[in-house]
Amino acid sequence: MKWKNNFSVQSDWTDVIVNREAKEAIARKLAERAKEGETIGAGSGSTVYLTLEALAERIRKENLHITVIPASFESTMACLRFGIPLTTLWEKRPDWTFDGADEVDPEHNLLKGRGGALFQEKLLIRSSKEVYIVVDESKFVSRLGTNFPVPVELFPGALAYVENCIWELGATEVTLRPAKGKDGPVITENGNLILDVRFEQLSADLERKIKAVTGVIESGLFMGYCLKIISLNR
């Protein structure tokens, strides 16, 4: 028996998608990589949403048997909307994962986490044999932190301790991310808080240093990862 009103299959992308035409072209390009029988990891964000839409079209037209491991509620709901079968990391390892990014530097280091799913996205990326990052030209920067702060997901009870440790790592600004649509801070899908942190310099070992702080779940830094950047003009 199916639910009479199922928001998960009715929901569309809630915001206007900036650079939609370019992102749709990138999405189609990436969806062409999918092969019969694969398990694919899906991150989150507007480009991921459009890629799932393009992937679903291939699944329908070519009768492909493909399953997806989503990194967020957002991607889970998109898969349900488009009719893409789901699985989990408990059951399968991704053949490859695709995700977006908020910033990409010349060495292909990434800044991610504006959508709040940084821990699950990083877990998927670490679990995958291959990783593709889909971005438009607006995401390329000369140095990480140019447009956005570094997100740090943390256990709520460790807030005061983690904040003090982050200052000691050279932070110039630390903000508890406020929620939209509710009072108080953002609560992640794992029940945690997010600090948005500005640093004057992002050293090569900063990701490791942040992760070493007791109470930190994960940061939005992805430095030195083996991945491929997919962009329309690169």
In sequence order, the 6+-apart residues with CB closer than 8 A to the CB of 99 are 41, 42, 43, 44, 45, 48, 71, 112, 121, 124, 125, 131, 132, 133, 134
User: Whole-angstrom Cα distance, residue 215 to residue 210?
Assistant: 10
Reduce the DSSP state of residue 26 to 3 states and report it. helix
User: Whole-angstrom Cα distance, residue 119 to residue 123?
Assistant: 6
User: Whole-angstrom Cα distance, residue 233 to residue 230?
Assistant: 9
Distances in whole angstroms, Cα of residue 233 to Cα of each of 47, 83, 134: 15, 30, 12
User: Whole-angstrom Cα distance, residue 211 to residue 173?
Assistant: 18
Reduce the DSSP state of residue 133 to 3 states and report it. strand
Tokens of 52: 């799932």
Q: Which listed residue (103, 121, 153, 207) is catalytic?
A: 121
Residue 192 corresponds to which amino acid? N
Residue in the block written with tokens 């459009």: 50
Q: Is 62 one of the catalytic residues? A: no
Tokens of 64: 């492909």
The residues carrying an active-site annotation are: 121
